[in-house]
Structure 1
Amino acid sequence: MHDDYPEYHHRLKQVYGRLARNLRGPMTAFAQLSAAATADGALDAKTKQLIALGIGITVRCDGCIAYHVHDALRAGASTEEILETIGVAIFMGGGPAVMYGCEALEALEQFEAQEKGA
């Protein structure tokens, strides 16, 4: 659980970069997979980010919440779309997903506040 999701996202990006420099093969492959999986296709990038967020909530991944709330907003997701994604994740993940849905809501609120302040 994180008090400052934008800061957490920033820190994860820095650590991710270090890991990518030290573990080039697997991290290059993962970056390529990520880019291919989230590129526009039959589903647009926004929808794919919302799916990834829902999965991140149900598997209880803090870093996934930070990344995919951020990336869903950047892909044009609205507050309402993110909230509905949290709702579907709660439906699929039960009580634990409620707690991580709360985390996703905090992340959403913090990223939105950061955008308004920028």
Structure 2
Amino acid sequence: MVENYTNLIAAVSANSAKLRKDIPEVMQGFNAMAQAASKAGALDAKTKELIAMALSVGARCDPCVGYHAKALVKLGATRAEVEEMLGMCVYMGGGPGLMYAASALAAYEEFGGEKASA
């Protein structure tokens, strides 16, 4: 677990600056994609940031968590909104495992594995 997200995103930003210098076309493309994806449309910016934070949690990306937490504060997300989103992260973090476990058992049975007794 990260102790200080402010320092972490500062360090990542400094390292990203090196990449902007060394591979400018890639970084410009990434930044253009980020701006296009973040632009308000059918979903507002705060909703998009809540989604981005959920994906950050799911991917276990500490710098992403830091950047999106900062953006959520700037966009006025409430603690209740963030906590509800995090509740979904907890649920979905466990749910996919359950779904894949059920599918894995079905595949085992499909290929001739022992079936459950009735």
TM-score calculated relative to the size of structure 2 = 0.75
Q: Secondary structure at the match of 2:46?
A: helix
Counterpart in 2 of 1:54? 54
Give matches, 1:1-118, under 5 Å. Answer: 1-94=1-94
Q: Secondary structure at the match of 1:3?
A: coil
TM-score calculated relative to the size of structure 1 = 0.75
Instruction: Name the count of aligned residue pairs.
Output: 95
In structure 1, distance between residues paired with 2:9 and 2:83: 19
Counterpart AA for 2:18: R
Moved more, 75-84 or 52-61: 75-84
Q: Secondary structure at the match of 2:60?
A: coil
In structure 1, distance between residues paired with 2:10 and 2:50: 20
* Residue pair 1:69, 1:82 contacting (<8 A) in 2 also: no
* Residue pair 2:46, 2:75 contacting (<8 A) in 1 also: yes
Deviation at 1:74, TM superposition (A): 1.2
Of structures 1 and 2, the one scoring higher in RCO (CA 8 A, sep 6+) is: 1
Instruction: Give ranges in structure 2 of 5+ residues lacking alignment.
Output: 96-118
In structure 1, distance between residues paired with 2:93 and 2:23: 33
Deviation at 1:94, TM superposition (A): 2.5
Counterpart in 1 of 2:108? none
Counterpart AA for 2:61: C
* Residue pair 1:9, 1:67 contacting (<8 A) in 2 also: yes
In structure 2, distance between residues paired with 1:17 and 1:81: 32
- Please identify runs of 4+ aligned residues in structure 1 that moved more than 3 A: none
* Residue pair 1:9, 1:63 contacting (<8 A) in 2 also: yes
Deviation at 1:71, TM superposition (A): 1.1
Q: Secondary structure at the match of 1:42?
A: coil
